[in-house]
Amino acid sequence: MRNSTYLKMGLNMLLHSKLRSWLTIIGIVIGIGSVVGILSLGDAMQEQVQSRLAEMDLTKITISPGYTKASSNMPGPGGPGGGGTTTDVELTDKDIDALQGLDGIQYIAGQVSGSEPVIYAAQNATLSITGVDPQVWKYMTTLETQSGRLLEPSDKYVAVIGSGVASGVYDQDIGVNQVITINGKAVRVVGILTEEGQGDRSIYMPIDAAVNLIDDAEEGVYDTITVKAKSEDLVDSLMEDIEKKLMISRHIIRDDDRDFSISASKSMAESVTEMTSSMTLFLGAIAAVSLLVGAVGIANTMFTSVLEKTKEIGTMKAIGAKNRDILMIFLFNSAMVGLVGGILGVALGTFVSTLFPLLGVRMMGGGSDSSLYLAPDLMAFGLILAIVIGVASGVVPAYRASKLKPVDALRYE
């Protein structure tokens, strides 16, 4: 027989199958739909993560006072080995001076931060204020302005505000060159940042002025020290050098006595990427269980079909059909079950993918709706996977059907 004959007879068997066969197809539909939908969601999350990483400064290293077990679990030299204690210590100019000579550091600066009442247009709101070094801040930050400018070295009582502060906190929007009042001191707005989610409700100003306006802030004492490495490749080694240097300068001998933490944007980005991949793999594995159930259903249906068509098999063999012909007919039939299930499953996966944004799924807290769609290669993967499962499930029943003897098959009741 020719392949077209196998195809025709396999299709005929499928079209005249009983309700049991179509119920079997539903199993494949659910399995393929789940796998395709979850992989589509995973792809969208990966794309969102990569987009976010592209916006991050992966050369940024942050030094914070205190050390906890939580920080010891972070990748990098601040990793395993933490003493499990939290200490209330300070970062000072002495720490910056100790790190100034390290190779690999492009910029280093301390920051102070706090929340203070900010008055504009007779309205009061408590907002986050960050004091930064205006000499290097514009070289260290990835923030951009939608209007105005960033801080300049000669600035004093001026501020760059987030877009959320500019519009959303007060009844009247704040524009460039408008004046806000922080702790009774007039501060002129010189720049408004572009909307980027994090930091939209923050105010940045020169550290000297911030120390005067933030309660508990002291000159030469910092809440964090930020380091910008010369390149992303130097981040890991630079973190190790910073740890060693600070251990020496702060006279810390035992690792358990460490009183500072080091974190890097690069390490956090890698952790997020790994977490996203692991979650997609885990959900995909769960969805694959339904595919396994569907495969068992196809095998069961094919065995039943062989029993129901035993006499037809005997008749076909009596008039000249070979074992290979019977084998191919049943394999084509099982492949078609998988193909039909795959087509409907891909359609279901597409439908499910369109529902994610409607259900409020926002990728990685991006703050914007992320549209999901099935890539052509993912559709092809779903169809090929369904066909392979169909064929694999039908191999044993088809082989048993091909080995039936004509006399025994014709006598079968």
- pLDDT for 357 equals 66
247 contact partners, CB below 8 Å, separation of at least 6: 253, 258
Q: Which of 40-44, 151-155, 333-337, 360-364 has the lowest mean pLDDT?
A: 360-364
Whether the predicted pLDDT of 342 surpasses 50: yes
- pLDDT for 413 equals 63
User: In angstroms, what CA-CA distances link 112 with 77, 141, 199, 211, 343?
Assistant: 25, 15, 15, 7, 58
pLDDT tier, 374 (very low <50, low <70, confident <90, very high otherwise): low
Average pLDDT, the chain: 82
pLDDT greater at residue 361 or residue 303: 303
- CA distance linking residue 293 with residue 46, whole number of Å: 29
pLDDT tier, 398 (very low <50, low <70, confident <90, very high otherwise): confident
Condensed to tens digits (0 to 9), the pLDDT of residues 105-136 reads 999 999 999 999 999 988 999 999 999 999 99
- Average pLDDT estimate for 170-197: 90
- pLDDT for 325 equals 86
Whether the predicted pLDDT of 44 surpasses 90: no
Whether the predicted pLDDT of 226 surpasses 50: yes
- pLDDT for 358 equals 64
Condensed to tens digits (0 to 9), the pLDDT of residues 309-327 reads 888 888 888 888 888 888 8
- CA distance linking residue 366 with residue 55, whole number of Å: 12
Whether the predicted pLDDT of 96 surpasses 80: yes
Condensed to tens digits (0 to 9), the pLDDT of residues 271-311 reads 877 887 888 788 778 777 777 877 888 888 778 878 878 88
Whether the predicted pLDDT of 166 surpasses 80: yes
Per-domain residue ranges for the chain? 3-53+271-361+370-411, 90-258
Q: Is 250 in contact with 95 (CB distance < 8 Å)?
A: yes
80 is written with which tokens? Answer: 């395993």
Q: Is 148 in contact with 191 (CB distance < 8 Å)?
A: yes
- Average pLDDT estimate for 357-384: 64
What does the buried/exposed string (b/e) look like for 212-236 if buried means 16 or more CB atoms within 10 Å of the residue's CB?
Answer: ebbeebeeeebbbbbbbbeeeebbb
- pLDDT for 242 equals 93
- Average pLDDT estimate for 97-110: 90
- Average pLDDT estimate for 42-53: 76
- Average pLDDT estimate for 234-242: 91
- CA distance linking residue 374 with residue 383, whole number of Å: 13
- pLDDT for 365 equals 47
pLDDT tier, 80 (very low <50, low <70, confident <90, very high otherwise): very low
- pLDDT for 84 equals 46
Dump strand ranges (E) for 88-193: 91-92, 105-120, 123-132, 145-148, 158-161, 179-182, 185-193
At 108, which helix (H) or strand (E)?
strand 105-120
pLDDT greater at residue 69 or residue 129: 129
Question: How many percent of the chain have pLDDT more than 70?
Answer: 86
- Average pLDDT estimate for 127-149: 91
pLDDT greater at residue 368 or residue 388: 388
Closest to 26 measured CA to CA, from 347, 412, 395, 403: 347
pLDDT greater at residue 393 or residue 55: 393
